[in-house]
Amino acid sequence: MGFNETVLICDEVDPVLNKVLQENGLKVSYEPQITPDQIKEKISNYDIIIVRGRTKLTKELIDNATKCKIIARVGVGLDNIDESAAKARNIRVINAVEGAMTAVAELVLGLMLALARQIPFADREIRNGKWLKKELVGTELKGKYLGIVGLGNIGKRLGRLAKGLNMNLIGYDVIPIDETFSKEVGLMKADLGTLLSSSDYVSLHVPLLDSTYHLINAEKLATMKKTAKIINTSRGGVIDEEALYDALKKGNLGGAALDVFETEPAIGNKLATLPNVICTPHIGAQTKEAQSLAANIIAEKIIQILRGVI
Ligand code: NAD
């Protein structure tokens, strides 16, 4: 059975999404460069709106989406969608929670290794004509304590990968952590304070909510080991960047690797001027596999919703 719903895709997504929707009869407008004003003008014509991270679906835009039944985010975080405005209009909001877990967890591993061995710095210095072999004595991840804050899809995937490197795992979540998983990887459950004070590496995997905004602030950073390193691939607002900058600058923290920032694009962010900081431009989910998986998941969910299955 074919459908005849209209779909507006507002951001660049894997072509498989467009293909599957069209094969099922949906009428797709693919407009990856569309501006908020243009969306406002035409949003009332569409049954389904699809975004990634670029487009912000504000209350104002959603209030104009008079025909809309589904808003889909081809990714995980829903912080670019005003969910309460969607709920008020009875619009289903869906995302692809499992799509990015391997991509993000593997990036965290890469960032931890890069921090431990100062890989970006070593590369830069060679380009500057310097061979700093004696100066570049790193540390190993084996045997170090990795504290994972938020044991959802990505946190758990990271736990499994880090176990493969013989790291010791400490976990904190606001909901009970899966027992089978904890046993499998030998994860010790702890409160946030214990996790922060005992870990050599802390990796954040919580959503950005009112309750997680500046979850890691000056007070919490002060409880961490001076040699500890923090990795944030969740959302910028989860760490207070001013407090992080101070802690790193004063030598109260060993280092940080950041894929997400309070304001993006984070060009000119002063954290990027510090030698013990590694920055990446929000590339956690930027793998071919993750993009195609997320697009497939969203296509499947939309078809299932239209069929009344979910
Ligand atoms: P998830 O929903 O599977 O897991 C999140 C976990 O955080 C849940 O177990 C939840 O109980 C826990 N949590 C919520 N509030 C908490 C708190 N105050 N303290 C401790 N734990 C808390 O989500 P996920 O798929 O694992 O994604 C995690 C984060 O990664 C999200 O912020 C998402 O936006 C982000 N993300 C980033 C990228 C990227 O490109 N860097 C890609 C995908 C996802």
Give the CATH number of the domain where residue 110 resides.
3.40.50.720
Pair (268, 294) in one structural domain: no
Hey, whose CA ends up nearest to atom 37 of ligand 1?
234
**Same domain flag for 174 and 301:** no
What pLDDT does 1 receive? 61
Tell me, yes or no, whether 1 lies in a domain. no
- 282 is known as an active-site residue: yes
Task: State the pTM of this model.
Answer: 0.94
**119, 83: one domain:** no
- Scored b (16 or more CB within 10 A) or e, 280-301 reads bebebbebeebbbbbbbbbbeb
What residue ranges line ligand 1, CB within 6 angstroms? 75-77, 97, 100, 104, 149-155, 172-175, 205-208, 211-212, 215, 233-235, 259-260, 282, 284-285
Is the domain of 104 the same as that of 237? yes
Q: Whose CA is nearest to atom 34 of ligand 1?
A: 77
Instruction: Give the number of other CB atoms < 10 A from CB of residue 193.
Output: 11
Are residues 137 and 218 located together in one domain of the fold? Answer: yes
Indicate the number of domains in the chain: 2
pLDDT tens-digit series, residues 17-53: 999 999 999 999 999 999 999 999 999 999 999 999 9
> pLDDT band at residue 2, thresholds of 50, 70 and 90?
confident
Q: Candidates 148, 160, 206: which one to mutate for ligand 1, based on the most atoms within 8 Å of Cβ?
A: 206
Does residue 199 share a domain with residue 139? yes
Domain span holding position 143: 100-279
Known catalytic residue: 127? Answer: no
Q: Are 224 and 194 in contact (CB under 8 A)?
A: no
The fraction of the chain above a pLDDT of 70, given in percent, is: 100
Q: Are residues 169 and 274 in the same domain?
A: yes
